[in-house]
Amino acid sequence: MRRLILRLTTLCAALAVAGATYAQIATNAVGRSPWSVTDEIGTLNMMTDQSRLDVLRQISSGKVYDLSVDLFVGMPTCCADAFGDPAYQIWKTHEPTRKEGGALVSHSSDTILMNTHTGTHIDSLNHFGLHGKIWNEVSASEALGDRGWTKSGADKIPPIVARGVLVDVAAFKGVQHLPASYAITPADLEGALARQGSELRPGDVVLIRTGLMTVWPDKSQYQFFNQSGLSLAAAQWLVEVQQVMLLGADNFGLESFPSTDAENFAPVHTYLLAEKGVPFMEVMWLEDLAKDQVYEFLFIGAPLKLRGATGSPMRPLAIPIAAKSRS
């Protein structure tokens, strides 16, 4: 009964969203945080000690799912090809001498160079703004310095411990991966959730599976410009109706590309980060969860605290929670 009511509520809200869409998008203004005038983390404020303990107590397995990909020279990167950002590099700074055996201690070390949006990573709220401002009405003139923003960087993102839900849209559609540039609708999400028997709850971490990791790391197939992903309507439904806390997906950019909005090449990015304060993760490895049909889990992850950064690599984990906990 409770689920039926929830579903009806959802439907009504979705209709409301559909009708309200134009006006909301047309504002194109950054949001002011309902949490605090100094807020830098948006919806991550939804977490509390109690919310964390609730999900931690539901853990039903000692199996840990790794939701990240390897980082290696030559790996696909959205931003090297699309935007001129550096591709991932690692190099040696120390190595055992060639005269092996001649020295007792064999010391090796290395250095990495990477755009902060390489491999599995999270986008900080300062990654996209509107009209020169970011989330919570912070302007570049007050908070953009020589080395980046002083507000809403990856260093402000707290450890994330929350209920997670996989939404396997590819499985719902019965395809290996969604077709090029396909824009996932709210109905797709509802259909996928119904297929799984999963429900979303306020404060969830919701991970969208397009199936594109099945072609990773083939650069000729896993390409930024034409990937399937969320439509703006789907993002709105997740945020405004379902009240998710954090989003994620297995593609480069969460949303469908290219954008159909001539004035905004990443409308879901600006909607989530700048208008609503919702961070999200990209290039996630969701194949193991999908294969084992693990749809609900403890999500645990925390980016590197790169001061001011617009994103950070991370290695999120999932641990199954009990089925009985769902109702």
**Contact set for a copy of itself, span 134-193 (CB under 8 A):** 134, 139-142, 144-149, 155, 158-159, 161
Using DSSP, state whether 37 is helix, strand or coil.
Answer: coil
Contact flag: residue 83 with a copy of itself (CB under 8 A): yes
186 or 277, CB closer to a copy of itself? 277
172 or 271, CB closer to a copy of itself? 271
170 or 273, CB closer to a copy of itself? 273
Distance CA 119, CA 304 (A): 13
Number of other residues whose CB lies within 10 A of the CB of residue 113: 11
45 by Cβ neighbours in 10 Å (0-12 / 13-18 / 19+) ranks as middle
Distance CA 79, CA 87 (A): 8
Sole window of 86-94, 176-184, 228-236, 287-295 interacting with a copy of itself (rule: CB under 8 A) = 86-94
Per the omega criterion (within 30 degrees of 0), is the bond before 303 cis? Answer: no
Q: Of residues 24, 45, 51, 150, which one binds a copy of itself by CB under 8 A?
A: 51
Distance CA 145, CA 70 (A): 31
Q: Of residues 178, 234, 268, 300, which one binds a copy of itself by CB under 8 A?
A: 300
List the strands of the sheet with 317-320, edge to edge: 65-66, 317-320, 296-301, 160-168, 205-209, 246-249, 280-282, 121-123, 311-313
225 or 265, CB closer to a copy of itself? 265
Question: Tokens 């009990």 appear where?
Answer: 322
| Contacts with a copy of itself, 240-269, as mask; x by CB under 8 A | -----------------------xxxx---
Distance CA 201, CA 141 (A): 38
The two tokens of residue 147 are: 């080395």
**Touching a copy of itself, residues 60-79 (CB under 8 A):** 61-64, 66, 68-74, 79
Distance CA 57, CA 60 (A): 9
**Touching a copy of itself, residues 91-130 (CB under 8 A):** 91-101, 103-117, 119, 126-130
Distance CA 38, CA 46 (A): 16
51 or 198, CB closer to a copy of itself? 51
Question: Tokens 């540039």 appear where?
Answer: 181
Tell me 87's DSSP state. P
**Touching a copy of itself, residues 215-234 (CB under 8 A):** none
Q: Of residues 86, 202, 217, 258, which one binds a copy of itself by CB under 8 A?
A: 86
First-residue to last-residue Cα distance in the chain: 10
Q: Of residues 87, 171, 175, 215, which one binds a copy of itself by CB under 8 A?
A: 87
Closest CB 74 distance from a copy of itself, rounded Å = 5
Contact flag: residue 278 with a copy of itself (CB under 8 A): no
Contact flag: residue 302 with a copy of itself (CB under 8 A): yes
186 or 316, CB closer to a copy of itself? 316
**Touching a copy of itself, residues 3-42 (CB under 8 A):** 28
Strand partners, 173: none
The two tokens of residue 19 are: 């009708």
Closest CB 189 distance from a copy of itself, rounded Å = 25
Closest CB 70 distance from a copy of itself, rounded Å = 5
Beta-carbon contacts of residue 51 (< 8 Å; ≥ 6 apart): 162, 203
Closest CB 302 distance from a copy of itself, rounded Å = 4
Closest CB 191 distance from a copy of itself, rounded Å = 31
For residue 147, which of 306, 273, 314, 312 has the smallest C-alpha distance? 306
Number of other residues whose CB lies within 10 A of the CB of residue 191: 15
Q: Of residues 7, 52, 195, 326, which one binds a copy of itself by CB under 8 A?
A: 52
